Chain A
Amino acid sequence: MSEDIYIELSQKAKELRKYIILMNCYAGSGHPGGALSSVEIITYLFHREISFFPDNRNDPDRDRFVLSKGHSCPVLYGVLAQKGFFGVEEFKRLRHVEGMLQGHPDRLKTPGVEFNSGSLGQGFSFALGCALGGKRAGRGFRVYVLLGDGELNEGQVWEGMMFGAHYRLDNLVAIVDYNKYQSDDLCSNVTALEPLAEKFTAFGWHTMEIDGHSFQEIGDAFKEARTVKGRPSVIIAHTVKGKGISFMENNPVWHGSLAPQGEERVRALRECGLDDIG
């Protein structure tokens, strides 16, 4: 990866983290931890990987991104604003009546959102349906779907894993934001996911494991996925929950639907280079 690209992506990621914290403060609730852990993945996807812009958002040949872990939607809203789907002023009305930005994604309200995700597991299956439909129609678009690690508790995900392998959906890439924490606790305390890579492999998926905060590794994995034929790919991206905000990192409290208050709010904003929410 060239230094120019790396610098550009780093700036976008920094801005995206700022947007997430701003939205979190405006809304007074939300799920900042899982949004922050997926910032590099989303930044790379939208700025380097997929062909998806305001101009082609209804084009049947567009690439699709589905945020199956819908509770992390501020990261999606932030990147959609970066791409010009709507203005940053919409952030202020996140989770408020008449706002374009819902607490979980709504495709009919928010330009650029493909699916009303939030009920875990469903975005994954929806993405499989898009990928199968694309193949049936002979269209060359690719489908990317981001899952949470806790989301893998859902039986529907394992139904979908069998379906994706059976239909040889090599136009689909699933990314697991493996930040190790789910709603209440460490994933490993809730129900063991490991050995996770072996499970995906056993289900017939091309499986990669990367550092989910490394643009280089994210880019390499997407490149590798494009070479895989006859089966879907999964990228298990090891990430840090709450990444970038010191007191949120690896603290399961910040999975939940809340926003920093008082001193913590000042710190969160300061760590994003802001004095106040404006």
Chain B
Amino acid sequence: MTTMREAFGEALIELARTRDDFVVLDADVAGGTGTAVFRDAFPERFIQCAIAEQNMMSVAAGLSTTGVVPIVTCYAVFASMRAVEQARNSIAYPEFNVKVIASHLGLDVGPDGPTHQAIEDIAIYRAIPNFRVVAPADPFELKKALPVILDTEGPVYMRTGRSPVPYVFDRDVEFELGRGKVLREGMDVTIIAVGVMVHRALDAAEVLEGEGVSARVVNMSTIKPIDRELIAESASRTGALVTAEDHNVIGGLGGAVSEVVTSTVPVPVERVGIRDRFAESGDPNDLAEKYGLTAEAICAAAKRVLERKAAVSACG
């Protein structure tokens, strides 16, 4: 187990050894976002912007016109709310080549509590034209995603994470922007998950198999542009979908998948996530338990959606 933010810091250092085209901007949270190791290894490529996220966002836009790719790093509540209007008007609308990479997501934040638990960032960035939205599932995928988003011209928002997460992949995992990946085949229901929920989805599929339910599991690490083909194909193949995210059930992965399903292959969808409420301080695992982000919660959602699928079939 390692943390996504540690993986992010390591990935930055590895990349910086072979390419000199990016700089990292920080808002005095390098310890929190994982960029402190990069700051120490490449101080000349680390730009301290102080606790002034709005200025940082627009400074990044200006820097991007001088031959470097700025990576803006801070906590997701600030990246997606305090400074989001700067991300929109200084970066997205003028189409500057800036990457915004945020840690401290959802209930994974844990004891710092709701002020720092970003449960809206996917919904917010997804609604801004020109931004792509990425949320890798584990440290290996994050390390593969980073060079890809750097090579993708234009604004990208990426989630990392704070707490230790189990590995879902091995180091040879491939990352393709805009493509989801089937991690496990199944016939009855598809669980589409993102970030820390991917390993919980795999656990849920295991439990469901023991109960006679065959669940397909998809890692949807790009939320925008979303993999419409894979969603529609999963809907056709299994006739029922469950989405799982450490985010509000409004507007995030569940929203994105539902939008695709309703305009392609309409099938029942159940959304696992934070049910439109502020949580509280606590250990991330305890919070996942209390607020319904566990493998058990995914299993329960799978059973609900299978009942709805059966009801639809009965009507048909």
Which A residues are within 8 Å of any B CB, using their own CB?
A: 60, 64, 106-108, 114-116, 118-119, 121-134, 136-137, 139, 155-156, 159-160, 162-163, 166
Contact = CB atoms under 8 A, between A and B. Distances in A.
Contacts of A60: 66-67
Contacts, number: 107
B50 A126 contact: no
A116 B64 CA distance: 14
B95 interface: yes
Contact of B58 (A118, A126, A131, A134): A126
Contacts of A114: 65
A122 B89 contact: yes
Given A133-B66, A136-B66, A163 B59 contact: yes
12 contacts: A106-B94, A122-B58, A123-B58, A126-B90, A127-B62, A129-B65, A129-B70, A133-B66, A136-B68, A156-B86, A160-B58, A163-B49
Contact of B55 (A118, A131, A134, A160): A160
Contacts of A160: 52, 55, 58-59
B85 interface: yes
Task: Classify the secondary structure of B's interface with A.
Answer: helix
A163 B57 CA distance: 13
A129 B52 contact: no
A156 B82 CA distance: 11
A126 B65 CA distance: 10
A133 B62 contact: yes
Interface string B122-138: 00000000000000000
A133 B55 contact: no
Contact of A116 (B54, B55, B60, B89): B89
A129 B62 contact: yes
B52 A133 contact: no
A137 B90 contact: no
B223 interface: no
B95 to A, nearest CB: 6
A31 B72 CA distance: 34
A63 B17 CA distance: 32
B59 A115 contact: no
Contacts of B62: 115, 125-133
Interface centre among B50, B55, B63, B93 (most CB of A within 10 A): B55
Nearest to B60: A129
B50 A162 contact: yes
B161 to A, nearest CB: 27
B85 A126 contact: no
Interface in B6-50: 23, 47, 49-50
B61 interface: yes
Contacts of A123: 58
Contacts of B67: 60, 133, 137
B59 A132 contact: yes
